[in-house]
Each structure stands twice: as structure tokens, then as C-alpha cells.
Amino acid sequence: MSTVDVDLSVVGAGPTGLYAAYYSGFRGWSTAVVDALPEVGGQITAMYPEKDIFDVAGFPTVRGRVLVEELKKQADQFSPTYVLGDQAMSIDTPEGGPVALTLASGTVVRAKAAVITGGIGSFKPRPLPAGGEWEGRGLVFFIPQPDEHAGKDVVIVGGGDSALDWAHMLHPIAKSVTVVHRRDQFRAHASMVDNARALGIELLTPCEVTAVRGDDWVSEVEVTSKTDGAIRVLPADTVVAALGFIANIGPMAEWGLDLEKRHIAVSTSMATNLPGVFAAGDIAVYPGKVPLISIAFGEAALAVNNAAPIVSPELGVFPGHSSGESN
């Protein structure tokens, strides 16, 4: 059991938390970044480190892993304290501060203010209804290492962005890529669907995977048309179940925060209802919210700067420009 005393604590070391840590350092504060996972990068590191991201300002394309590395480098200029592999279990916000986080290990992180960047909390993939027993034997939920699937027959199940992202990523290296989706309409970005068709990636809709077969390892997938019941058997070395995630914000649900579904309601200054506690990124919600990394960066900067009057009452909310004096 130990105590960490800092100016600002950040719950979550995803892209939003890393950028909040940079901004806190830029303001001249000491920072602690807590994450339940053993590595920084949140959803990017856990789910799509090798995916190209096209919509981060200033980077026409950036590999997920590279974006995380650069964010960490940017934050590390100010030497934040990382407390990784340790979940924040409770928060205490006594009048006059400090904001105290108690972690699963018993460590207490005390700060003048806190920014919660807990994303979607902990997440586990939705199971594949037919074939869940093949997990670890050809059935996967993420593609952290695309090269592992080079030269393989890959069947991707799902109709969201992940399914189409992975189809694009594997198409140049796999022997075949087929996407199976139970509806004709995809949730994925329309341009990704059009582009997949243009590339010749086979999209089977409205169809369901009704069986996964093999010996020690997956070798084929049975796909049934929802229109006429026709059955097709596809060769498959890899089945990617991209059916979304069951997310759980876990202990944060009990912290007395104003919640809207699984998100923390914030004001225009990213303040929550708890004194000295701000939120940013996927976890934060307000009218017009769009959960994108590019927007989360702005939210992190807003949250940290609006914490300034609490952390250092002599400081203004506006930090000045990064090319000049920070305060």
C-alpha cells in the first residue's frame, strides 16, 4: 500500500488520458496516470494497434501503435507517474480536496483535481453464437498482429467499422477475406463498404455463420443465407468475430457521478457533478457528443485547463500557446 501525491490524477491511459497527461505537464503540474491494463493506449493498444487511423488531425494516416507511442512520448516530456495494471476502485472528494482515488492494490492517488478518461471501461468481445468453442483455435476477436494471418483464408463476422477495418487490413496479405453480416445494411462507414466491394472483398449479406468446423484448428465455416436458407461452406483458417463489445464501466458506476447510460455527463468545461473531477474522451457525454479520438484530444485539453483554477488558483484557464511561455 502506498500513496501517490500529485497535482492532477488521470484515470485511464488511453489516447485521451495520455494527452491529458501531456497537457497537465505542459501546465507545470505533476501528474499520475492510472490504468487497469498493463499497457498504455486503451482501446488502440488492446484492439487495433496495427490498424491505420485516417482521421486524426495532422496525420493523413497513422498506425494505431505509432499514435500511442507518439502520445506517450509527448506526455513523457513531463515525466508523469504511470500506475498501470491497477484499477481505480473508488473516489473520495472531500470538501477542500484532495480528490483521492483508491486503487485495487490499495494504493491511494491524491490530487488537487482528477480527469476521468476511462473510455468504455473494461470491455470483452461479444461471443460468436455458433462456434464460440473455437476460441484459441482459429477464432479470434482482434487482429493485433495482421502478419499472423498472411496467406490464410479469413472469414470476418460483423458489419461494423471493426469488421470492415480488419477486412481492409488483411485483404492485401490474406489468401482470401470474406465478410459475413446478418443484415444488408452495414453499420460501418459507407465508404469502407464501397471500397471493400471495389477491392473484391466478398461481402455475404444477409447471412449468418451457422457452424464452425475443423479438427484441432478451424478449417471451414458454414454460412446460411437469411433470405433463402441456402448454405455455403467457406474454407477458413481464421474466423474473426467482430460483433462488438460488452463494455462495463465497473467501479465508476458507483462513484456518485451523474451518468447517462454508461457515460459521465459533463458540462461545457468537461466538469462532472463531483467537485474537482472532470471527464473527457469516450466516457464523457454532452449534447452533440461524437466519440472520436480527434475530438477527445480537445476534450482532454478543455478538462485539464478548466482544472487550472482548482490546481493552481493563480493560473487562468487559458494556458497560452505552446510555442510561448506555458503560464
Ligand X SMILES: Cc1cc2nc3c(=O)[nH]c(=O)nc-3n(C[C@H](O)[C@H](O)[C@H](O)COP(=O)(O)OP(=O)(O)OC[C@H]3O[C@@H](n4cnc5c(N)ncnc54)[C@H](O)[C@@H]3O)c2cc1C
Q: Which residues bind ligand X (CB under 6 A)?
A: 11-17, 34-37, 42-44, 47-48, 53, 55, 87-88, 117-121, 161-162, 165, 250-252, 281-282, 291-294, 296
Using DSSP, state whether 222 is helix, strand or coil.
strand
The least CB distance from residue 108 to ligand X, in Å, is: 14
Report d(CA 313, CA 88) in Å as an integer: 27
Closest distance to ligand X from the beta carbon of 166 (Å): 8
Min CB(276)–ligand X separation in Å: 17
The answer to whether residues 24 and 31 touch, using CB atoms and an 8 Å cutoff, is yes
Residue nearest to ligand X (CB): 119
* Shortest separation between residue 127's beta carbon and ligand X, angstroms: 17
Q: CB-wise, 182 or 262, nearer to ligand X?
A: 262
Nearer to ligand X, 212 or 303 (CB): 303
Which is nearer to ligand X, 233 or 292 (by Cβ)?
292
The single residue listed with the C-alpha cell 472469414 is: 155
| Main-chain dihedrals φ then ψ at residue 34, nearest 5 degrees | -110, 135
CB of 212 to ligand X, least distance (A): 22
Q: Please tell me the total number of residues recorded for the chain in this structure.
A: 327
Q: What is the 3-state secondary structure (H, E, C) of 229-256?
A: CCEEEEECCEEEECCCEEEECHHHHHCC
Provide the β-strand partners of residue 220: 213, 235
Shortest distance in whole angstroms from residue 215 CB to ligand X: 31
Angle at 174 between CA 172 and CA 178, to 5 degrees: 100
| Choice between 255 and 315, CB closer to ligand X | 255
Name which of 28 and 291 has its Cβ closer to ligand X.
291
Question: Smaller CB distance to ligand X: residue 9 or 306?
Answer: 9
> Whole-number minimum distance, CB 251 to ligand X, in Å?
5
Exposed, middle or buried, 83 (CB in 10 Å: 0-12/13-18/19+)? Answer: buried
Given the complex with ligand X, which of 5 and 39 has the nearer CB atom?
39
User: Whole-number minimum distance, CB 327 to ligand X, in Å?
Assistant: 26
Q: In sequence order, which residues have a C-beta less than 8 Å from that of residue 209 and are 6 or more positions away?
A: 128, 130, 131, 155, 157, 180, 221, 222, 223, 239
Smaller CB separation from ligand X, 41 or 315 = 41
Nearest to 156 by CA among 186, 114, 112: 186
Can you state the percent helix, strand and coil of the chain, rounding each to 5? 25, 30, 45
